Amino acid sequence: MKIKDILGGKFKRKIRRGSRIKRILQNDLHLSEGGKVFGDDAIPFDHAMIPSIMKSVNTVLSKTGASAIPIGSGATPTKGKVSGDLDLIVDTDILKQHFKMPDEPDKVIRQKLRQLYDLAGFDTAQSGNSVHVKVPMGDHAHQVDIMVVPNAANAAQFHTHNIPQGSKFKGKNKQQLLSIIAREKGMLWSNFDGLYKRLPNGKKDPNGLISRDINEIAKLLLGPNARKEDMGSVESIVSILGKEGEELLANIRANDPNWKELD
pLDDT score of 7: 42
The distance from CA 173 to its chain's CA centroid, rounded to whole angstroms, is: 10
> Helix 243-255 and helix 234-241: axis angle, to 10°?
130
pLDDT score of 106: 93
pLDDT score of 76: 85
- pTM, two decimal places: 0.78
Amino acid at 229: E
Helix (H, G, I), strand (E, B) or coil at 251: helix
- Residues in the chain with pLDDT < 70? 1-34
Give the model confidence (pLDDT) of 23-40 as tens digits.
Answer: 444 455 554 455 789 998
DSSP 66-121: ---EE-BGGGS--TT-EESEEEEEEEHHHHHHHHT-TTS-HHHHHHHHHHHHHHTT
